[in-house]
């Protein structure tokens, strides 16, 4: 790991001000630190945002659940309020990585990082989330731009993520047995007005599968997507899973999710 | 006094390990030490055109940078294969030189070319990045199956072939196959594994310029053997000026048998720069440069009669040695593999033919089970297939071919002294509720799942090994073990052993043995190992040899102590030594009430001044002191055996395999500490099941390791396993006084075929390769669906 300067910001404003083209925010460090240790990334400045009190915590209203950016996965997994309002979201958090990762990693870090096989981005899409930054509010559907790419501007800080409470929802992940990241994860959420089938792991970036959601809009049951076959040409392929296998898993996991709703 | 042998004595080492008081190599720091970073080849095969250290030398904190040229100038020897194998045509094996730092050519990703030594680790890392190496990249050979058709990696080694070895009689086998009703044949791959000890390799070399002594702290399973190799072949230092200490070591599984490049380089360099040098592997380095295991491609055939009698067996294997042949690299795919490939069966004719090939991958060597997992996988997959093709129940078919009389002269090499394979099978079936399987299968089916059951019976040759036998087969050293048992004048005992514990709990097991032999409370017995300056010689720990060889040396040394005690007692109590009996720590004169405790005898042996008793307690000619040494060289290998049964449930939609039940019924001979044995079985099973379902070391065609971290190399985790159902049968080994057989490798040997047989059973007999990953199984499920719908 190369030398770097460590800063601890006291509020969002300071964090944003300290950032440069050669800096990163340090939330849980579960992505940033390993990449630095492996020499995949190096920064001049790391700006610790964990001491910004305002960024952490869970608030539930009638319509939505708002989770502060530095809230750890374990806190979401164990939160009584989240379990009551959106059980599938607590369930998702419970299934991230391992206990060490869940006790350090944060929701803001996960969403900002937008790893193609991360879990939370699918929740954002499925639950019509709004990403609150120090500058604006961004709809989830406009936030995830591509592999490790988001709508965030340099120095822009996620402060909280607001999830819409659905009527029913379920997240079903087929984990990579080594890393436990999603090979494919499917988040099905049935809202009053729409049905989202958010898919992570299958393509370079999380997406809402329109074919599946359309089929489910006609009839919300797993039999309505039972025999669907998806085009695998844009799907990821690596030593853990071919594109063809991923395409099949999307349907299988979607069925499981609908059955679990 | 109750016997401790056979009881669940709590581990003496637990307090140290569980409270963070263990002392591992990387915990040791010396004043004024420097830090080493190795510059490694990023290419699988390349010529070194130019190596420029000038920029790196100017980097801050650099003490020294050494390369292959200096190693060659100083005539430091390379790494060696410890076992000479002869080919079928009588020629000796061909091995390339393996210099500790490559000078002209690199042969795998991770092959070290230079060492950067600096005042701090960070400075060493920064400087290492400034070493510039100009490589001419050559085409790499990475596939085991195709290695003989690839470019020649090492000059003079044609077809990349180290040897083409045969054990058995081709003509007899041919005749047996001619008589067969049916020939069952199979093509299998024994997947390549990375040992993944919890503690990465590390070393710390220190040099004292006054005594001219090098002390090397290192993560070794066998410090004496390492010293011998470094001294005799590495030319690092004369043996008496080299001390090797292997303190607490966090797992080895065979990967820490070898002397590694870093051990030699740091020892040599410490003397050169006259300072201590520390090196600790990063996990990525462990993945790339620890020896790997397995990696066989096998075609095997079994000749059978229609009623299920085995007549003949053929085993044609290509074994990947990796880039270089290392200590047990050549014996693992030959004498540790070939003889065991006929399994627990009476097969009148058999041969094993192994072609060992070099490739541009990390060296392959002994990994838990070493050769025997590959052997068991071969025969047990074949027998399972035979049971399907012959329509004979898998357990019946096996029992039909078990030997019933012992000693059992196995087809190829071994004479198995003891065992009862039928009893093991019957107990395993009962433990696993084999007869109730159909109901469980139906239940899975009703939930849309596929269920399979797999059986495997194994035996293994361990307790390595009778010296005369192994030396006649090409081993470079005898594989005896030694022990020294030393009483303090005040009655406590220190046992020095040449075995090494890196997770095997010797501190407890060995103390139980000594406590029983000497009648001394276990709290008063210390086990010392892992330091060539302390106590006796030793060949180390691997091949389930610690108890069966090292433990017996302890027993024998204790017996010598007791003999001396009898002589001393006789003198002190004015009796004849033949009339002195020893029991529970007391020497008793027969038919009298006269006795001495072993503590009193120890005290007397050290001749304390006793004013009113002018005469010596020692018989004439008896030396003072109470300390005895024994070297034990076993007369035969030991042969644990057993039957394991697994059940899996497969989700055909995702291909996920869930291991539902696992039963292991083993015969390890006498069991000293059941709790420790359970731990060994659990660990072995985890690794064996890991091989079957999860683990795989994969190189791409350019020789880059695709599975170089835990993000891609699937280490099994606790939630991958069911509760293991463990039981034993027991026949005592007849070749050692404790009747013990060894238990460390059994799980890793038996589990892969057991699990794969279950998976393949669930898949209607379709072959798939290990590991049975979800995608492979999913594909097989799709085929099954297709063929089922055709049938309907
Ligand atoms: C072994 C392992 C297993 C894992 N398994 C999973 C898994 O199964 N599923 C899964 O989804 N993830 C998994 N992860 C990733 C984990 O969830 C991390 O928490 C996540 O990737 C990053 O969160 P962090 O808080 O650690 O971020 P950091 O590493 O601190 O930061 C990551 C990036 O996000 C930026 N960032 C952080 N916070 C903010 C913010 N508030 N606003 C703007 N930018 C910000 C940083 O600048 C940095 O670029 C795993 C990680 C590891 C190490």
Please report the pLDDT score of residue B76 as a whole number: 96
d(CA B579, CA B570): 8
Task: Give the pTM.
Answer: 0.96
My answer on whether B275 and B305 are in the same domain is no
Whether the predicted pLDDT of B107 surpasses 60: yes
Q: Which of B597, B632, B667 is the last residue of a domain?
A: B632
Coil/strand/helix, residue B371: coil
Q: A-chain residues within 8 Å CB-CB of B713?
A: 178
My answer on whether B646 and B588 are in the same domain is no
Q: Look at B773 and A177 and tell me if their CB atoms are within 8 Å.
A: yes
Query: How far away is chain B from the Cα of A251, in angstroms, using its nearest Cα?
Result: 10
Cβ atoms within 10 Å of B726's Cβ, excluding its own: 19
Please report the pLDDT score of residue B146 as a whole number: 97
What residue has token string 């579960």? A30
Closest to A196 in 3D by CA, of A144, A127, A244, A261: A127
Cα A109 to ligand 1 centre (Å): 4
**Which chain A residue's Cα is nearest to B778?**
A245
Please report the pLDDT score of residue B537 as a whole number: 87
Q: Is residue B471 part of a domain?
A: no
DSSP lists the bridge partners of residue B48 as B135
Whether the predicted pLDDT of B787 surpasses 90: no
Please report the pLDDT score of residue B2 as a whole number: 77
Please report the pLDDT score of residue B614 as a whole number: 58
Nearest CA to ligand 1 atom 11: A118
Residue B150 · residue B45 · CB < 8 Å: no
Please report the pLDDT score of residue B613 as a whole number: 57
- Mean pLDDT value across residues A248-252: 98
My answer on whether B387 and B373 are in the same domain is yes
My answer on whether B304 and B376 are in the same domain is yes
Whether the predicted pLDDT of B779 surpasses 80: yes
Residues of the domain holding B88: 14-138+198-251+256-289
Please report the pLDDT score of residue B612 as a whole number: 54
Please report the pLDDT score of residue B788 as a whole number: 83
Please report the pLDDT score of residue B125 as a whole number: 96
Write out residues 750-789 of B within 8 Å (CB-CB) of A.
773-775, 778-779
Tokens of B291: 């020896």
ipTM score assigned to the predicted complex = 0.95
Please report the pLDDT score of residue B610 as a whole number: 60
Q: Is residue B151 part of a domain?
A: no
My answer on whether B121 and B270 are in the same domain is yes
Nearest CA to ligand 1 atom 27: A109
Out of A44, A71, A101, mutate this one to test ligand 1's pocket (max ligand atoms within 8 Å of CB): namely: A101
Beta-sheet pairing, B242-245 with B349-358: unpaired
Q: Look at A174 and B654 and tell me if their CB atoms are within 8 Å.
A: yes
CATH of the domain at B549: 3.30.365.10
**Which chain B residue's Cα is nearest to A255?**
B653
CA dihedral B21, B27, B28, B29 (to 10 degrees): -130
Whether the predicted pLDDT of B366 surpasses 70: yes
Nearest CA to ligand 1 atom 44: A112
Q: Which of B612, B632, B652 is the last residue of a domain?
A: B632
Nearest CA to ligand 1 atom 12: A118
Cα A116 to ligand 1 centre (Å): 12
pLDDT tens, position by position, B689-718: 999 999 999 999 999 999 999 999 999 999
Q: A-chain residues within 8 Å CB-CB of B659?
A: none
Q: Is residue B108 part of a domain?
A: yes
Closest to B96 in 3D by CA, of B146, B45, B144: B45
Q: Is residue B169 part of a domain?
A: no
CATH of the domain at B241: 3.90.1170.50
d(CA A176, CA A167): 29
d(CA B482, CA B497): 6
All structural domains of chain A = 5-48 (3.30.43), 53-260 (3.30.465.10)
DSSP lists the bridge partners of residue A65 as A60, A163
**Which chain A residue's Cα is nearest to B695?**
A178
Q: How confident is the model at residue B133 (pLDDT cuts 50, 70, 90)?
A: very high
Coil/strand/helix, residue B763: coil
Q: Cα B265–B266–B267 angle (5° rounding)? A: 95
Q: How many helices (H) and strands (E) does chain A have?
A: 11, 14
Q: Is residue B783 part of a domain?
A: yes
Point out the ligand 1 atom lying closest to the alpha carbon of residue A69.
Answer: 41
Number of domains in chain B: 3
- Mean pLDDT value across residues B190-194: 98
My answer on whether B697 and B763 are in the same domain is yes
My answer on whether B562 and B607 are in the same domain is yes
Q: Look at B122 and A177 and tell me if their CB atoms are within 8 Å.
A: no
Percent of chain A scoring above 90 in pLDDT: 97
My answer on whether B659 and B571 are in the same domain is no
DSSP lists the bridge partners of residue A172 as A186
Cα B585 to ligand 1 centre (Å): 63
My answer on whether B601 and B556 are in the same domain is yes
Please report the pLDDT score of residue B792 as a whole number: 65
Cβ atoms within 10 Å of B613's Cβ, excluding its own: 9
My answer on whether B347 and B367 are in the same domain is yes
Percent of chain B scoring above 90 in pLDDT: 94
Q: B-chain residues within 8 Å CB-CB of A174?
A: 654, 656, 774
My answer on whether B509 and B526 are in the same domain is yes
Q: Which of B615, B632, B649 is the last residue of a domain?
A: B632
d(CA B629, CA B627): 7
Percent of chain B scoring above 70 in pLDDT: 99
Q: B-chain residues within 8 Å CB-CB of A240?
A: 712, 773, 775
Q: Is residue B184 part of a domain?
A: no
Q: Is residue B778 part of a domain?
A: yes
Whether the predicted pLDDT of B598 surpasses 90: yes
pLDDT tens, position by position, B608-659: 766 555 578 899 899 999 999 999 999 999 999 999 999 999 999 999 999 9
Whether the predicted pLDDT of B786 surpasses 90: no
Query: How far away is chain A from the Cα of B695, in angstroms, using its nearest Cα?
Result: 9
Would you say the CB of residue A68 lies under 6 angstroms from ligand 1? no
Q: Is residue B544 part of a domain?
A: yes
My answer on whether B582 and B487 are in the same domain is yes
């Amino acid at each position: 790991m190369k030398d770097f300067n460590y800063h601890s910001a006291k509020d969002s404003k300071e964090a944003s001000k300290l950032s440069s083209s050669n800096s990163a925010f340090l939330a849980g460090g579960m992505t940033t630190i390993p990449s630095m240790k492996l020499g995949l990334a190096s920064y001049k400045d790391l700006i610790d945002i964990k001491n910004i009190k305002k960024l952490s915590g869970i608030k539930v209203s009638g319509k939505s659940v708002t989770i502060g950016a530095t809230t750890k996965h374990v806190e979401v997994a164990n939160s009584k309020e989240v379990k009551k309002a959106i059980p599938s979201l607590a369930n998702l958090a419970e299934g991230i990585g391992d206990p060490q990762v869940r006790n350090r990693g944060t929701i803001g870090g996960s969403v900002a990082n937008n790893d193609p096989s991360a879990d939370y981005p699918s929740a954002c899409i499925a639950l019509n989330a709004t990403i609150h930054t120090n500058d604006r509010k961004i709809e989830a559907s406009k936030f995830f731009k591509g592999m490790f790419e988001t709508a965030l501007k340099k120095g822009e800080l996620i402060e909280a993520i607001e999830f819409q409470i659905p009527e029913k929802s379920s997240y079903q992940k087929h984990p990579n047995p080594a890393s436990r990241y999603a090979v494919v994860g499917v988040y099905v959420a049935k809202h009053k007005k729409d049905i989202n089938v958010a898919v992570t792991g299958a393509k370079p970036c999380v997406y809402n599968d329109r074919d599946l959601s359309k089929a489910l809009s006609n009839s919300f049951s797993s039999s309505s997507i039972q025999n669907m076959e998806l085009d695998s040409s844009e799907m990821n392929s690596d030593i853990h899973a071919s594109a063809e296998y991923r395409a099949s898993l999307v349907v299988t996991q979607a069925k499981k999710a609908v059955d679990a709703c | 006094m109750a016997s401790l042998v056979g009881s669940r004595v709590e581990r003496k080492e637990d307090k140290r390990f569980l409270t963070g008081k263990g002392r591992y190599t990387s915990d040791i720091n010396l004043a004024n030490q420097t830090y080493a970073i190795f510059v490694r080849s990023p290419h699988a095969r390349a010529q070194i055109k130019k190596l420029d250290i000038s920029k790196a030398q100017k980097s801050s904190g650099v003490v020294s940078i050494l390369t292959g040229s200096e190693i060659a100038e100083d005539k430091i020897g390379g790494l060696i294969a410890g076992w000479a194998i002869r080919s079928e045509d009588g020629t000796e094996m061909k091995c390339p030189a393996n210099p500790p730092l490559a000078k002209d050519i690199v042969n795998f990703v991770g092959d070290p070319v230079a060492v950067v030594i600096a005042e701090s680790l960070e400075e060493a890392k920064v400087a290492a990045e400034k070493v510039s190496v100009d490589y001419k990249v050559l085409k790499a050979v990475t596939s085991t199956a195709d290695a003989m058709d690839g470019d020649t990696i090492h000059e003079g080694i044609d077809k990349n072939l180290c040897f083409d070895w045969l054990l058995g009689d081709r003509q007899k086998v041919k005749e047996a196959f001619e008589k067969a009703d049916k020939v069952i044949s199979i093509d299998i791959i024994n997947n390549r594994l990375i040992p993944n000890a919890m503690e990465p390799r590390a070393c710390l070399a220190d040099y004292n310029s006054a005594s001219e002594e090098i002390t090397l702290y290192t993560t070794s399973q066998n410090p004496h053997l390492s010293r011998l190799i470094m001294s005799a072949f590495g030319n690092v230092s004369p043996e008496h000026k080299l001390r090797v200490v292997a303190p607490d070591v966090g797992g080895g599984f065979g990967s820490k048998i070898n002397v590694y490049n870093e051990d030699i380089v740091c020892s040599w360099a410490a003397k050169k720069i006259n300072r201590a040098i520390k090196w600790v592997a990063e996990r990525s380095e462990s993945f790339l440069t620890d020896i790997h295991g397995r990696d066989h491609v096998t075609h095997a055939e079994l000749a059978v009669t229609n009623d299920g009698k085995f007549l003949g067996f053929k085993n044609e294997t290509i074994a990947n040695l990796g880039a270089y042949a290392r200590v047990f690299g050549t014996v693992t795919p030959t004498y540790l593999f070939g003889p065991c490939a006929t399994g627990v069966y009476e097969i009148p004719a058999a041969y094993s033919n192994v072609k060992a090939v070099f490739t541009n991958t990390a060296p392959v060597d002994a990994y838990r089970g070493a050769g025997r997992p590959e052997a068991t996988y071969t025969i047990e997959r074949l027998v399972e297939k035979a049971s399907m093709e012959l329509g004979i129940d898998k357990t019946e078919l096996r029992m039909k071919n078990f030997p019933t009389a012992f000693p059992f002269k196995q087809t190829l090499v071994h004479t198995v002294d003891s065992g009862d394979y039928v009893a093991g099978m019957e107990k395993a079936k009962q433990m696993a509720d084999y007869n109730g399987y159909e109901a469980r299968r139906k239940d899975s089916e009703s939930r849309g799942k596929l269920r399979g059951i797999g059986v495997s019976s194994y035996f293994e040759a361990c307790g390595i090994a009778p010296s005369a036998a192994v030396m006649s087969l090409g081993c470079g050293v005898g594989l005896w073990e030694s022990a020294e048992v030393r009483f303090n004048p005040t009655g406590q005992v220190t046992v020095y052993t040449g075995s090494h514990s890196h997770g095997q709990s010797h501190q407890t097991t060995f103390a139980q043995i000594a406590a029983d032999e000497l009648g001394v409370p276990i709290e008063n017995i210390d086990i010392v190992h892992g330091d060539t300056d302390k106590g006796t010689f030793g060949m180390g720990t691997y091949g389930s040899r610690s108890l069966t060889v090292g433990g017996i040396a302890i027993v024998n040394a204790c017996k010598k102590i007791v003999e001396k005690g009898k002589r001393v007692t006789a003198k002190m109590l004015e009796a004849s030594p033949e009339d002195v009996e020893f029991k529970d720590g007391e020497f008793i004169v027969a038919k009298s009430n006269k006795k001495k405790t072993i503590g009193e005898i120890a005290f007397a042996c050290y001749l304390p001044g006793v004013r009113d008793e002018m005469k010596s307690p020692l018989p004439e000619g008896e030396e003072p002191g109470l300390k005895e040494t024994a070297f034990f060289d076993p007369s035969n290998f030991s042969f644990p055996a057993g039957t394991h049964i697994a059940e899996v449930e497969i989700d055909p939609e995702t291909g996920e395999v869930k291991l539902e039940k696992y039963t292991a019924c083993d015969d390890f001979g006498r069991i000293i500490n059941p709790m420790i044995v359970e731990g060994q079985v659990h660990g072995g099973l985890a690794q064996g099941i890991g091989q079957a379902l999860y683990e795989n070391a994969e190189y791409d065609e350019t020789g880059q390791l695709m599975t170089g971290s835990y993000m891609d190399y699937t280490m099994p985790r606790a939630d991958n396993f069911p509760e293991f159902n463990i039981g034993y049968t027991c026949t005592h080994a007849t070749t050692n006084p404790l009747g013990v057989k060894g238990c460390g490798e059994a799980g890793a040997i038996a589990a892969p075929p057991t699990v794969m047989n279950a998976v393949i059973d669930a898949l209607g007999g379709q072959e798939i390769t290990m590991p049975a990953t979800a995608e492979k199984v999913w594909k097989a499920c799709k085929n099954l669906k297709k063929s089922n719908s055709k049938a309907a």
